Amino acid sequence: MDHSELGFDQNFSGAADDFPSLLRRKGLLGPAAPGPMVQNPAQQQMWQPTQATTILAFKFSGGVLVAGDRRATAGNTVVYDRADKVLEIDSNSIMAIAGVPATAWEMARVLEHSLQFFRRTQLQEMSVDGKVRALSKLLRDNFGFVMQGIGVVVPIFATYDGNSKPEARLYFYDAMGAQFEATDYAATGSGSPAVRGILYYENTWGGKPLHNLSEDEAVSLALRALDTAAESDTATAGVDRSGKIYPIIKIVSRKGITTLPQNKIAAVFKEMVA
């Protein structure tokens, strides 16, 4: 089928003619809700959207480490203690989510299919700038829900750029879709102030800058940061010692994406943290 029949511009710019726009034109992606879901103030107090926090990422000697605790909450209630907040988008890209999981997971699915659609129609990978702008547009399209207070998402995006200057790239966003490239580290979610403080301290006055950390040292730092955030933030789980539940940790490098097994994380925690 010719691309023009699908209404998709071959010169993809990440702005007007992208995969979400195609879905919306075909009636396969619904518009934002016209008004708040809960009108009654009494019902508003009883209903709280599920939230998922906290996530962090930083560059180390082996690429970019991305980690997220496992807790999902609704108000002061723990909804789930094994939520996956670190999602693989393609063979070189990770999206970590903080905010409403229902919205964030749908964004991740749309972004994953957008990149697949581009790869299959253009016979090449989308550029890093294109990927970053595609996620930015999804966040911008979601702003109607953000204004209603029911769909806030503030993700972190990590990828490996193998083109002109091979290197791992790290970006964070605000709820409106503004993107910022991080030179060293990023953290979002309710526990992020504590995490950013720890990462800044370690990068500035620690034994080694973040860029020089080994894999085990980087994993140890991520576990310590999340565990510290959990001490003052009830929405962050850190390490659940009794349930033996550890954060999800993935690494983006020139080799692609590596998911660290739970027994590896447990061993680092026992040896270098606990």
Rounded-to-10 torsion of CA 190, 196, 202, 208: 110
- 189-216 residues labelled b (16+ CB within 10 A) or e (exposed): bbbbebbbebbeebbeebeeebeebebe
How confident is the model at residue 144, as a pLDDT?
87
Is residue 53 flagged as an active site residue?
Answer: yes
pLDDT tens for 119-158 read 999 999 999 999 999 999 999 999 988 888 788 999 999 9
Residue 262: count of CB within 10 angstroms of its CB: 14
Instruction: Average the pLDDT over 241-268 and give the result.
Output: 95
**Tokens found for residue 59:** 């560059």
* 133 close to 15: Cβ distance less than 8 angstroms: yes
Angle at CA of residue 259, ends 53 and 225, nearest 5°? 40
pLDDT tens for 23-49 read 777 777 665 444 444 455 545 445 677
Catalytic residue among 53, 73, 159, 236: 53
How confident is the model at residue 47, as a pLDDT?
61
pLDDT tens for 168-212 read 999 999 999 999 999 999 999 999 999 999 999 999 999 999 999
Spatial neighbors of 219 by CB under 8 A, at least 6 apart, are: 65, 249, 260, 264, 265, 268
Instruction: State the greatest distance between any 2 C-alpha atoms of the chain, in Å, as a whole number.
Output: 59
Spatial neighbors of 153 by CB under 8 A, at least 6 apart, are: 97, 98, 99, 100, 103, 104, 107, 139, 142, 175
How confident is the model at residue 30, as a pLDDT?
60
Confidence label for 4 from pLDDT (cuts 50, 70 and 90):
very low
| Interatomic CA distance for residues 216 and 272, integer angstroms | 9
pLDDT tens for 227-236 read 999 999 999 9
* 234 close to 73: Cβ distance less than 8 angstroms: yes
Residue 60: count of CB within 10 angstroms of its CB: 25
Confidence label for 7 from pLDDT (cuts 50, 70 and 90):
very low
pTM here is 0.83
In the DSSP assignment, the letter for residue 255 is T
Instruction: Average the pLDDT over 244-263 and give the result.
Output: 96
- Fold entry, domain 50-273: Glutamine Phosphoribosylpyrophosphate, subunit 1, domain 1 (3.60.20)
3-class secondary-structure state, position 1: coil
H or E element at residue 224 = helix 215-232
How confident is the model at residue 242, as a pLDDT?
86
